[in-house]
Amino acid sequence: MNMPFAASEALRQQDLDHHLHPFTDHRQLAAEGGPRIITHGEGVWLWDTQGRKLLDGMAGLWCVNVGYGRHELGRVAQRQINRLPYYNTFFQTSHEPVIELSAKLTGLLPEGLEHVFFANSGSEANDTALRLVRHYWQALGQPERRVIVSRRHAYHGSTIAAASLGGMSSMHDIPGVPIPDVVHVGAPYAWESGKAMEQEHFAEVAARWVEEAILAAGPERVAAFIGEPVMGAGGVIVPPAGYWQRVQDICRRYDILLICDEVVCGFGRTGNWFGAQTFDIRPDIVTMAKGLSSGYQPISAVAVGERVVAPLLERPGRFPHGFTYSGHPVAAAVALENLNIIEREGLVEHVHDTVGPALATGLGRLADHALVGEVRTLGAMAAVELNPENMPGTRDLPSGTLATRVRNLCFEHGLVTRAVRDGLVFAPPLVITTDEIATLVDILSSCLDEVAAQVA
Ligand code: PLP
């Protein structure tokens, strides 16, 4: 299915002429001659216009959980478009796909989350959660409870509210962000700030940062804590054992709502349906997107527990919030079928029993490599933290240079990964086989060797 070279180059030029990309340095893109253009995918594999085959170690953007090429999802979308392509869920109306999806989701979510609100992206889901918790406290006569506690390195999206919730400094590098009343505490990131500590002790220290922020803001002003069970875009930061239990206890002690952002961790990624189940968290609110439809349609959701939903169901008045496409019928139908696929094919068990152990063993073997500092894995997500300090030739490189070099080489050798600070992260489609994991590890290993030889 190779595209002729001239046609491919013309497309690249058109892209440079007219397309503004997210999170992209356009001067650099132009200097590189334009983007790689992906044409199709199958399973964990992608192809570009030059016929190059790539193992997608990132499932797109952490989302294509069931893998590429699922024609059954195309058929469901087509059927739904022909039957009812759109209707809204405002003003006392509903439709079958959104009703069925709501019921299905509540059966998979951690216990007690019985109601679901829909949006179109992870960012919108988190915006919704923020508005919802403030609406909740207002309904309870405590409108001063506005503060949201989040963490550095968190990624919660790109809208103004979601970027404010996130804790990456680069996301705050636009005037007006973060919005007031969002505070960020340290992440449970041992490689950064807890190397010398026992896990259990670091869990205590990192949870104490949460409590200190609550006390500094005044508990009577704090509405909620938000966290990804495992931070994804921040670098696959797997928290130390005991961290989440402590954070949960702190939230309960000060009567603060707990929001789990499951946009990355949800739908099997950690070896359970949700990261909250992996860490035994009982959240008041869960936000989801990505794996909800495996990226086949834009859809996100906010699941709400009994406590937060009670004022919505029992009091007069309404939550003044919603999107034209909240619960879009085509997206909902595709999401429903995607969940059926995950269930039918036992993909959550596959991650738990096969992908997780194989990634941990395969990548774990690289932990002794001269360029590698630490390997972290949980289920179908992993980080290979490089250690520029290890080699004289890399010690003085600006942060991120080494990881970017390895990432670019991986691309050339047919593996998609992503550089985060001085590390590489992986989140392949959940359908990945042990042979494909071996290929992923082999490519990464040879790229590490090649870069190590260059910098030795
Ligand atoms: N939350 C998390 C944990 C994410 O990783 C992302 C996106 O990567 C988002 C929220 C935002 O999702 P979206 O890009 O769909 O707005």
> Which of 272, 424, 326 lies closest to 124 in space, CA to CA?
326
Quick one: pLDDT at residue 389? 86
Ligand 1 pocket test, candidate residues 61, 64, 155, most atoms within 8 A of CB: 155
Quick one: pLDDT at residue 64? 98
Verify whether ligand 1 is closer than 6 Å to residue 155 (CB atom).
yes
- CA of 404 relative to ligand 1 center, distance in Å: 22
Strand partners, 418: 425
Quick one: pLDDT at residue 380? 98
**Ligand 1 atom with minimal separation from the 126 CA:** 10
Pairing of strands 257-261, 285-288: parallel
Quick one: pLDDT at residue 455? 86
- Judged against a pLDDT cut of 80, whether residue 2 lies above it is answered with no
- Judged against a pLDDT cut of 70, whether residue 18 lies above it is answered with yes
Ligand 1 pocket test, candidate residues 237, 260, 264, most atoms within 8 A of CB: 264
Q: Assess contact for 153 and 242: CB atoms under 8 A.
A: no
What pTM does this model have?
Answer: 0.97
- CA of 127 relative to ligand 1 center, distance in Å: 11
pLDDT band (50, 70, 90) for residue 279: very high
Other CB atoms within 10 Å distance of the CB of residue 456 = 11
Quick one: pLDDT at residue 395? 83
pLDDT in tens, 241-263: 999 999 999 999 999 999 999 99
Q: Assess contact for 286 and 109: CB atoms under 8 A.
A: yes
Quick one: pLDDT at residue 456? 79
Q: Is the dihedral of CA 241, 247, 253, 259 positive or negative?
A: negative
* Mean pLDDT across the chain: 96
Question: CB under 8 Å to 187, separation ≥6 — which residues?
Answer: 151, 152, 153, 154, 167, 206, 231, 234, 237
- CA of 164 relative to ligand 1 center, distance in Å: 13
* Phi, psi dihedral angles at 234 (to 5 degrees): -70, -5
Verify whether ligand 1 is closer than 6 Å to residue 383 (CB atom).
no
- CA of 288 relative to ligand 1 center, distance in Å: 9
In sequence order, which ranges of 37-121 are alpha helices (DSSP H)? 59-62, 71-83, 96-108
Quick one: pLDDT at residue 111? 94
- CA of 5 relative to ligand 1 center, distance in Å: 35
- CA of 63 relative to ligand 1 center, distance in Å: 10
Cα distance between residue 260 and residue 274, in whole Å: 10
**Ligand 1 atom with minimal separation from the 298 CA:** 15
Question: CB under 8 Å to 390, separation ≥6 — which residues?
Answer: 370, 371, 373
Judge residue 141's burial from the number of C-beta atoms within 10 Å of its C-beta, 0-12 exposed, 13-18 middle, 19 or more buried: exposed
Q: For ligand 1, atom 10, which residue shows the shortest CA distance?
A: 156
Verify whether ligand 1 is closer than 6 Å to residue 232 (CB atom).
yes
Quick one: pLDDT at residue 445? 98
**Ligand 1 atom with minimal separation from the 290 CA:** 15
pLDDT band (50, 70, 90) for residue 392: confident
- Judged against a pLDDT cut of 90, whether residue 84 lies above it is answered with yes
- Judged against a pLDDT cut of 80, whether residue 1 lies above it is answered with no
Verify whether ligand 1 is closer than 6 Å to residue 230 (CB atom).
no
Verify whether ligand 1 is closer than 6 Å to residue 264 (CB atom).
yes
- CA of 385 relative to ligand 1 center, distance in Å: 22
- CA of 163 relative to ligand 1 center, distance in Å: 10
**Ligand 1 atom with minimal separation from the 120 CA:** 15
Q: Assess contact for 115 and 286: CB atoms under 8 A.
A: no
- CA of 402 relative to ligand 1 center, distance in Å: 26
Quick one: pLDDT at residue 423? 97
- CA of 156 relative to ligand 1 center, distance in Å: 5
As a whole number, mean pLDDT of residues 138-144 equals 96
Q: For ligand 1, atom 1, which residue shows the shortest CA distance?
A: 156
Q: For ligand 1, atom 13, which residue shows the shortest CA distance?
A: 122
- Judged against a pLDDT cut of 70, whether residue 391 lies above it is answered with yes
Q: Assess contact for 301 and 289: CB atoms under 8 A.
A: yes
Verify whether ligand 1 is closer than 6 Å to residue 273 (CB atom).
no
Q: What percent of the chain has pLDDT over 90?
A: 93
Secondary structure in 3-state letters for 228-273:
CCCECCCCCECCCCCHHHHHHHHHHHCCCEEEEECCCCCCCCCCCC
pLDDT in tens, 23-44: 999 999 999 999 999 999 999 9
Tokens found for residue 373? 């500092």
pLDDT band (50, 70, 90) for residue 88: very high
Secondary structure in 3-state letters for 339-393:
HHHHHHCCHHHHHHHHHHHHHHHHHHHHHHCCCEEEEEEECCEEEEEECHHHCCC
**Ligand 1 atom with minimal separation from the 158 CA:** 16
- CA of 380 relative to ligand 1 center, distance in Å: 17
pLDDT band (50, 70, 90) for residue 397: confident
Judge residue 445's burial from the number of C-beta atoms within 10 Å of its C-beta, 0-12 exposed, 13-18 middle, 19 or more buried: middle
